[in-house]
Amino acid sequence: MANETMARAAVAVGSVKTEIREFPLPEIPADAGLLRIAVTGICGSDWGMYKNDKPGPRILGHEMVGTIEKIGDVAKYRWGVKEGDLVALEEYLPCGHCEFCRSGEIRSCLETDQRLPGKIRFGSTPITVEPSLWGGYSTFAYMHPRTLVHKVPAGVAPNIAAMALPLGNGFQWIYYDGGAGPGKTIVIQGPGQQGLGAVIAAKIAGADLIIVSGLSRDSKRFDLAKALGATHTVEVDKEELGAAVSRITNGRMADIVLDCSGLGPKNINPSLFLLRKRGVLLTVSRGDAAEPLNVNHLINNQLTIRGLRGHSFEAVEMALSVMARKILPLELMSTHRFGLDQIDTALKIVGGQMEEKSIHVSIDPWMS
């Protein structure tokens, strides 16, 4: 490995403002490591954090893929990796000993919740917390002793591996949380990177019908959704979604509905009417409730509403396994790559502030 002594990073210093700064590489204790970042994907949540100037200057980016530059002996044993291995990291830094961690639900560990005081997490921790290198928009990242490390399978390119978390979300939500499988009809609202990850999960799980909804301007994303396994697409500005689902299913309706449209709680009641009896509504759309929940319809039809957040270790492993099999054109999802000096533009594209459309955007910190 080269003998660098400094990391170069894009630091979010205020609302929609970035500065390129340098940081000294930290000493690596026996239970930690140093990652030489190859690429880092941009999550939609990064745009929301970029607009927020709290909790202070920080290095964004948590969809990190890179090679292990340095690693302590304890960490080498714990993670099962060595220097030079290509790995993907999760954003979480779980405690490892609470009831959630012990049962595999690391995403529920209180240590992973960056909204709580004093908690750290990749991509959202301020640079005032030593050693500052907590985000992927940098040439190097510090691998905390509680880091969750995944080996990238041989033959999987870094820009594809950088989609492990959004695709892992798809497997977590559709398969693990939703119970997708053969014979199921699934409606996925929103053809962004999370929705497309859910399409992949539904396809791999063996769902019979996979219906993806969006707007007519999403025509290219609809084409990609079909290439990834969707059986039907619906332009909701041209056809009412409930009528379309009824038409496609001959009135049976859906077993599972996933709302990642970004419409928020106002879409809960309409989504409930897409379900058959005993169906499951999964939602990741945040916001304040626009109207009361239709409790009568919920009870009469024995429906389930489940709020979703994050992924399990197993779901990310499943995403990497699908990448290794190369049975789907995942490269079509990787639409853009930018350098650190272009991070502002990259984030604005992901945030829908530019005319240019994207699906999954990645940052190559070594790109000139």
Each residue's pLDDT tens digit, 123-177: 999 999 999 999 999 999 999 999 999 999 999 999 999 999 999 999 999 999 9
Compute the average pLDDT of residues 62-83.
98
CA–CA gap between residue 136 and residue 204 (Å, rounded): 29
Q: Say what the pLDDT of residue 1 is.
A: 44
Q: Would the pLDDT of 2 be above 60?
A: no
Residues carrying CATH 3.40.50.720, the chain: 166-307
Query: To which residue do tokens 């599972």 refer?
Result: 256
**DSSP string for 66-128:** EEEEEE-HHHHHHHT--TT-EEEE-S----SSSHHHHTT-GGG-GGG-TTSTT---TTTSBTT
Which pLDDT score is estimated for 330?
97
Q: Report the pLDDT averaged over residues 6-30.
A: 97
**CATH code for the part of the protein at 166-307:** 3.40.50.720
Give me the chain's average pLDDT, please: 95
Q: Coil, helix or strand for 60?
A: coil
Which residues, other chains included, contact 102 with Cβ-Cβ below 8 Å and sequence gap of 6+? none
Whose structure tokens read 């993907």?
A: 88
Report the C-alpha gap between 102 and 269 in whole angstroms. 35
Residue of 65, 117, 119, 56 whose CA lies nearest to 88: 65
* Tens digits of residue pLDDT in 201-211: 999 999 999 99
According to DSSP, the residues that pair with 258 across neighbouring strands are 188, 282
Q: What is the per-residue pLDDT across 223-236, written as a single tens digit (0 to 9) for each?
A: 999 999 999 999 99
- pLDDT above 80 for 290: no
Superfamily designation of domain 6-163+333-363? Medium-chain alcohol dehydrogenases, catalytic domain (3.90.180.10)
Residue 285: its pLDDT value, please?
Answer: 84
Local structure of 320: helix, strand or coil: helix
Proportion of the chain above pLDDT 90, given as a percent: 92
Residue range 311-324, pLDDT digits in tens: 999 999 999 999 99
Question: Does the pLDDT value for residue 288 go beyond 90?
Answer: no
For 54, phi then psi, to 5°, come to -105, 145
Q: Is the pLDDT of residue 266 over 70?
A: yes
Residues of the chain with CATH 3.90.180.10: 6-163+333-363
d(CA 51, CA 15): 5
**At 311, phi and psi to the nearest 5?**
-150, 165
Instruction: Tell which residue, 187, 181, 222, has the closest CA to residue 203.
Output: 181
Q: pLDDT category, 192, cuts 50, 70, 90?
A: very high
H-helix segments, the chain: 44-50, 73-79, 99-102, 158-161, 164-170, 193-205, 219-228, 241-249, 268-272, 295-300, 313-325, 343-350
